[in-house]
A = this chain, B = another copy of it.
């Protein structure tokens, strides 16, 4: 049995469905141990956390806080105080954008800089909270769908208080040179706050928040083999302490009177309501699985597949391909079949060969606008995919051409 077949055996859904799953950037498949963790949790430990002293609650609290520790270690955070659990990247980015914009860390003559390459979660949130609370938001406009770090850095000045950008765009798979941007930005303004959308990056790259001196990074559990409904905001302790809370409710409270409320310490100040303990238990299992499989191996395998797909698809002259089209692209390949609408392409691929890709604007309308298109097709890979599956995609694209001719 090849190593790749071994990987595939870990994912029960691949047994049951005759499907070629190339929609990994939307959500990944889940390995058996992650799926099984729900039964384990609900049939043994089921309880609210932090609030009761009975056995189930004590066990649940330990499970929940161990998961926090596991995630802190995974991204090399200094302390578990820096790990805030959310329901996904979108909530994590809403939390940090609204809290920063509402705080006094940004004054009225300072600004936020983001980019038109962002997923809406890292674009609309800054734009709208900026409007609501009267703070300035500027945008780097990409050039033909390429993130040019030098051009982005040129827009940073002493008045730029926050830069928010993706580490790997979900449209073209281009990997951002985070180190270069952070170094240059800190040279211009030592106290600039760095907010990174890591939704597509963290699942595929060794993420080290201390090495790169990242202030905030958001990511989703369900895009890295974990359960839906789980996400993380990492935030540097000394900044988190200065920020106002995001949501209001139980547990995040120190003291409440009809006059006012004081808030709990971090990370609890930012977490309220009964958390999805089962989900974060599952996310911890996903991290264990990735660690044991080897994040390096996962990275290498996905790199191989991406390059294989790029080289093959480049030979089809009836495709428009987007992005850098070189090693800077990871896990994602986006394209259009000339004269055929992406929805028809994806429907055809599904109906003819059971290939699951995504078509649409991928929650990145400004990006598509800069490319001069409305929507595109996206194939996104993970380590359980194979070269043969990519060959099938290639053949199916040829079929499409013939069919719609």
Which of A's residues lie within 8 Å of B, judged by CB?
Answer: 12-13, 16-17, 19, 21, 23, 26-27, 29-30, 34-36, 38-39, 42-44, 46-48, 51-57, 87-91, 93-94, 102, 116, 119-121, 123-125, 127-129, 131-132, 139, 141, 220, 222, 227-231, 245, 247-251, 253, 255-258, 260-261, 272-279, 343, 346-347, 349-350, 354-360, 362-363, 365-366, 369
Contact = CB atoms under 8 A, between A and B. Distances in A.
How many chain copies?
2
B54 A366 contact: no
A359 B52 contact: yes
A336 to B, nearest CB: 15
Closest 7 CB pairs of A and B: A229-B276, A90-B273, A250-B363, A54-B356, A121-B249, A90-B249, A26-B48
A245 B276 CA distance: 24
A319 B240 CA distance: 43
Contacts of A47: 23, 26-27, 356
Nearest to A259: B127
Contacts of A89: 273
Nearest to A93: B249
A52 B346 contact: yes
A220 B274 contact: yes
Q: Is the interface of A mostly helix, strand, loop or mixed?
A: mixed
Contacts of A349: 54
Contact of A38 (B27, B39, B53): B39
B51 A253 contact: no
Nearest to A55: B350
Given A17-B55, A36-B39, 19 more contacts: A19-B54, A27-B47, A27-B274, A38-B38, A38-B39, A47-B356, A52-B346, A53-B350, A56-B356, A57-B358, A87-B87, A87-B276, A90-B272, A102-B132, A120-B248, A220-B274, A227-B276, A229-B229, A257-B365
